[in-house]
Amino acid sequence: MDTIDVENLLDVAVRVAGEAARLAVRMRAEGVGEVDTKSTETDVVTAADRAVETLVVSLLSEARPGDAVLAEESGASGTGSRVRWILDPIDGTVNYVYGLPQYAVSLAAEVDGEVVAGVVVNPVTGEQWSAAAGRGAYRGARRLRCSRVTQLSQTLVATGFGYDARRRAHQAKVLAGLLPRVRDVRRLGAASLDLCFAAEGRVDAYFEKGLSPWDWAAGALIAREAGLLVTGLAGRAPGDGLVVAAPPGVYQQLHDELVDLDAGGGP
Ligand code: IPD
């Protein structure tokens, strides 16, 4: 079987995500324009989400014709390829709409179903996080290591909420149980950036229920390569049930607390 050059995938991801980030910033400067809704009336999509996705898909098909793509706005395309790209053109669309500088382009490459390269770019700050499997995580040229926290009571935890009101009610209950046990909680509004922040210790840990693959594929690789454990609950793989990312020193404590609080349950 042919070997696939992971460094090449990462180079393509970095270049394409950079172009995508420039388009997102340019379109934001021109005004957000029409905002449509998706799964609920709070789940929004802008013309920029669609335009950035179209640009990325076309740049990928020039650079790597035949690869499959899974993208937030257009779904799955291409079959029979060992390489699949996973794209969130604008993660943190609500922040984008409000002009909050906390959104990202998130692009990951899978080979045979395993994420091997990922990049997350904050178009506003220009920060770029990247990782290739087994080769470490970086912000720009700086190698990243997760926090060394060992006590849950000292742990700053990022999280997020879904768009469905019933799911949010459950997530609020989980949060009410967790908040007295941790240093504090942050809800920044873009899952990919939450994971990158955990990778460099801007927060210690992160969890969220109900994410889609494009929200976490690149960020989870970056977090893992920075030393965090990234899993689901009770031996499950990370996924829409729950994604928890925590440094080894507090992973078990946070995991067990989330199990007790039924963070993976509810609608
Ligand atoms: C959302 C963001 C948010 C998270 C939601 C995601 P989107 O992605 O990552 O932080 O809490 O679960 O859906 O909709 O802005 O691409």
Q: What is the pTM of this model?
A: 0.97
**pLDDT value of position 148:** 98
Q: What confidence tens digit (pLDDT) does each residue in 172-184 have?
A: 999 999 999 999 9
Q: Is 88 in the pocket of ligand 1 (CB under 6 A)?
A: yes
pLDDT of 35 reads 87
Q: What is the mean pLDDT of residues 154-170?
A: 98
Token output for 182: 């941790």
**Is the minimum distance from the CB of 162 to ligand 1 under 6 angstroms?**
yes
Q: Going edge to edge, which strands form the sheet with 104-111?
A: 75-77, 68-71, 83-91, 104-111, 114-121, 128-132, 137-139, 142-143
Q: Which of 192, 211, 214 to mutate to test the pocket of ligand 1 (most atoms within 8 A of CB)?
A: 211
- Cβ(53) – ligand 1 distance below 6 Å: no
Mean pLDDT of 65-84: 94
Mean pLDDT of 67-84: 94
Q: Which atom of ligand 1 is nearest to the CA of 187?
A: 10
Looking at residue 79, its pLDDT comes to: 82
**What are the pLDDT digits (tens) for 103-161?**
999 999 999 999 999 999 999 999 999 999 999 999 999 999 999 999 999 999 999 99
The verdict on the CB of residue 200 being under 6 Å from ligand 1 is no
User: Tokens for 261?
Assistant: 């609080």
Residue 213 has pLDDT above 80, yes or no: yes
pLDDT confidence of residue 9: 98
Residue 209 CA to ligand 1 center (angstroms) comes to 11
Q: Which run of H or of E encompasses 84?
A: strand 83-91
Q: Which amino acid is located at 134 in the chain?
A: G
What mean pLDDT is reported for the chain? 96
Q: What is the three-class DSSP state of 32?
A: coil
Residue 35 has which token pair?
């905002």
- Tell me: pLDDT of 56 over 80: yes
What single-letter amino acid sits at 204? D
Q: Which of 238, 244, 248 is nearest to 257 (CA)?
A: 244
pLDDT of residue 55: 98
The pair of three-digit structure tokens given for residue 219, joined into one six-digit string:
């960020």
Ligand 1 mean position, distance from CA 216 (Å): 10
Between CA 256 and CA 238 the distance in angstroms is 15
Token duo for residue 165: 């009101």
Quote the pLDDT of residue 6: 97
- How sure is the predictor about 1, in pLDDT bands with cuts at 50, 70 and 90? low
Pocket test for ligand 1, best of 32, 208, 215, 243 (most atoms within 8 A of CB): 215
Q: What is the number of other CB atoms lying within 10 angstroms of the CB of residue 29?
A: 7
CB of 198 closer than 8 Å to CB of 146: yes
Q: Which residues pair with 129 in a beta bridge?
A: 120, 139
pLDDT in tens, 122-135: 999 999 999 999 99
